[in-house]
Structure 1
Amino acid sequence: MEKAKVYYADMRTSFNENLPQKLERLMERAGIGKIDFQNKYVAIKIHFGEPGNLAYLRPNYAAVVAKTVKKLGGKPFLTDCNTLYVGGRKNALDHLDAAYQNGFSPFATDCHVLIADGLKGTDEALVPVEGGEYVKEAKIGQAIMDADIIISLNHFKGHEATGFGGALKNLGMGCGSRAGKMEMHSAGKPYVDTEQCIGCGRCIKICAHDAPSIRDKKASIDHEKCVGCGRCIGVCPADAVQPAGDESNDILNRKIAEYSKAVIQGRPNFHINLVIDVSPNCDCHAENDIPIVPDVGMFASFDPVALDLACADAVNKQPVIANSQLDRMPHTHGDHFCDSAPSTNWKTGIEHGVKIGIGTTDYELIQI
């Protein structure tokens, strides 16, 4: 089998080339022009950053990708799905506010923003996962599945549950609807936090299985009837319906790989990782700690597994930044991400991605 090609550029600039121009050159060298974009809808999957977090990718990078797609004849849009947790991006209106607040306006990025799973995170496509061991039918944001082509533009950084977040995390977890995110995080079924419940009954109206009921103005969910679809989570106005959150990190990584397969299977896809501002935790946090290693560079590939592995290998070659979270942790694993978040093992997601056929660990790194 031929090695996957992963293209790399460092973050050095010159009087003749700035970073946006370098990213454009990287994409061209990595072969983005081989895709037929003519009159195709192109979903550019990105994380807009939780309000308060400043480690997310600058909109300047998204603008480069959008303009490249337009130059090749495509119709790009920036997209993400609503979050499962309570925060600034749990519904489409708040999510758009967050995106615009962080600079992702059509004027800055040269394309529009669509929240893929709709107003309340319930607008989803049910996508069969070929060969899925944990997920038979992924719940993916409808607008993402309506696109003809998917490009992931990923901030490669640490993550407290998966070890790191890169292409697979942005594709798998990021493209899942709120119910899809619950499926990845949980093997159980949702429950009601009665202290937060306001007894509005919206969970009863949305459920097709008569699982929720209200007694003494508080809802409860009958797990004998509940099928775990998670729609009640999306419609609850008080965030009283909560996922079980009982899945192990290893299985979480494998489910993310299977959701990634649902997103990319059967259509052209291309992936970019920017290994900069490598914060220890996800951009979903309303804050960001200092980076754990110095900036590394930009990477691009048609293979999301090889891309993530190449970036992890590159990060592990970097020195640790003094006074960072990683610097304060025991270095017992021989791996920066596992040392920074000892309960994680990012390799499980990589291995499962290979097993289900979405990529390879055999890569060739080509510096431009």
Structure 2
Amino acid sequence: MKSRVYFVPASYDEDDKTLAEKVSKLVKMSGIVEGIAKDDYVGIKLHFGEKDNIGFIRPSLAAVVGDLCKERSQNCAFLETNTIYIGSRSNTISHLNLAHSHGFTYANTGLPIVIADGITGRDHVNLKIDKKHIKEAKIASGIIDFDYIVSMAHVTGHCQTGLAASIKNIGMGCASRAGKLEQHSTVLPEITKEKCLGCGLCIKWCPKDAIKLVKKKAVISKEECIGCGECTVACRVGAIEIKWNESIHNLQEKMAEYAYAALKDRRKGFMNFAMHITKDCDCMAKDEPTITRDLGILASLDPVALDKATMDLLIKDAECDRLRDAKDGYPNIDWNIQLEYSAKLGLGNLDYELITVD
């Protein structure tokens, strides 16, 4: 049976009131919050954006979803975890301060924020899943007590997974820092010395001090590197690259297994915001240019069908795969790996029916 995916055309050029009305209608039509029972603990999983990033989902739109959830249960909160890299979201205190500075205050949204893996990202529960790569997933402990998860994902490209959407929002976003490290463990970057300028920018962004300057050239310690990929994005001359081989394949499969663990035995609904689509995700501390026009917002009870429908729409609209474009994307990353493997895990269905909301 095909999964239903609902779509409303939308653009950030529209005013907040119009967008809010579209979000409200989409949520109601798709039924993604209908499974919430009275007194359920409801977590709205989203990304608050790194400092200086502007691509994150607007607080006003997140508040609309929050209000619809609160009509069914008063126990609702925004839900997120800390990062493994250096930045404003690596610990709960600075993470909350950043979220507030980006407009996710109680006054603006009517919801509190739960950073689910503790002050420094160490709090997790080992969930036994016995899959190909992961036997016990390190899921942020605060996730466990939520009865219902509503994922709000901003669709972007990604330097390691090709696509960042619903599966990544849950798979990477519900893992503790140790869980994120486990997913990245086989993905290690390499430096082309001839291209390296010795500027040290990669050193600044490395969360583990795994990069040193040796004879005015950056050198990565394989023993210390955690494979987060921050250096590849930081380098402005393309001197640092990840060899896109089986390691990137494994990362996507591990991410899918973590999504499986986080969603197992839990009721859920999903939204993809295909607007302000950029080459890299909202972890980037900068305002990135968009790589395609705004398409709209999609919703479904099935995260696999949702991500597949999102990409099919993007490819059809642009008449090419912008996320794999040689200039604006990552041509060597097959983002479809995460979708196909998620379907094999039983997370969802690759076959879908697209329903446009008027």
TM class by shorter chain equals: 0.7 to 0.9
The answer to whether 1:337 aligns with 2:326 is: no
Contact map agreement 1:167 1:271 (CA 8 A) in 2: yes
Please state whether the residue corresponding to 2:117 is helix, strand or coil: coil
**Larger radius of gyration between Structure 1 and Structure 2:** 1
Superposition map of 1:95-134 within 5 A: 95-129=95-129, 132-134=131-133
Name the CA distance, whole Å, in 2 between partners of 1:104 and 1:263.
24
1:349 aligns with 338
Name the CA distance, whole Å, in 1 between partners of 2:354 and 2:61.
22
Please state whether the residue corresponding to 1:317 is helix, strand or coil: helix
Question: Unaligned stretches of 5+ in structure 2?
Answer: 189-206, 213-222, 229-241
The answer to whether 1:60 aligns with 2:60 is: yes
The alpha-carbon distance between structure 1 residues 186 and 63, as it changes in their structure 2 partners (threshold 3 A), is same
Please state whether the residue corresponding to 2:126 is helix, strand or coil: strand
State the Cα distance separating 1:316 from its structure 2 match: 0.8
2:296 aligns with 297
Superposed CA RMSD: 2.5
2:216 aligns with none
**Amino acid in structure 1 at the alignment position of 2:315:** N
Please state whether the residue corresponding to 1:318 is helix, strand or coil: helix
State the Cα distance separating 1:93 from its structure 2 match: 0.7
1:243 aligns with 226
Name the CA distance, whole Å, in 2 between partners of 1:125 and 1:263.
10
**Amino acid in structure 1 at the alignment position of 2:168:** K
The alpha-carbon distance between structure 1 residues 33 and 92, as it changes in their structure 2 partners (threshold 3 A), is closer
Question: Unaligned stretches of 5+ in structure 1?
Answer: 197-222, 224-240, 321-333
Please state whether the residue corresponding to 1:8 is helix, strand or coil: strand
Tell me: higher relative CO, structure 1 or 2? Use CA pairs within 8 A at least 6 residues apart: 2
Contact map agreement 2:187 2:248 (CA 8 A) in 1: no
Task: Give the TM-score taking structure 2 as reference length.
Answer: 0.81
**Amino acid in structure 1 at the alignment position of 2:109:** T
Name the CA distance, whole Å, in 1 between partners of 2:66 and 2:166.
18
Name the CA distance, whole Å, in 2 between partners of 1:77 and 1:282.
23
Name the CA distance, whole Å, in 1 between partners of 2:283 and 2:101.
15
Contact map agreement 1:277 1:294 (CA 8 A) in 2: yes
Task: Give the TM-score taking structure 1 as reference length.
Answer: 0.79
The alpha-carbon distance between structure 1 residues 142 and 293, as it changes in their structure 2 partners (threshold 3 A), is same
State the Cα distance separating 1:313 from its structure 2 match: 0.7
Please state whether the residue corresponding to 1:342 is helix, strand or coil: coil
Please state whether the residue corresponding to 2:173 is helix, strand or coil: helix
- Equivalenced residue count is 309
Contact map agreement 1:37 1:69 (CA 8 A) in 2: no
1:178 aligns with 177
**Amino acid in structure 1 at the alignment position of 2:98:** A
Percent identity among equivalent residues?
Answer: 37
Cα deviations by residue, 1:124-168 (Å, 9 ceiling, x for unpaired): 111122x51111111111111111111100101111111111000
State the Cα distance separating 1:34 from its structure 2 match: 3.0
Contact map agreement 1:117 1:124 (CA 8 A) in 2: yes
Superposition map of 1:1-368 within 5 A: 2-11=1-10, 18-129=18-129, 132-187=131-186, 193=209, 242-244=225-227, 248-319=247-318, 334-339=320-325, 340-368=329-357
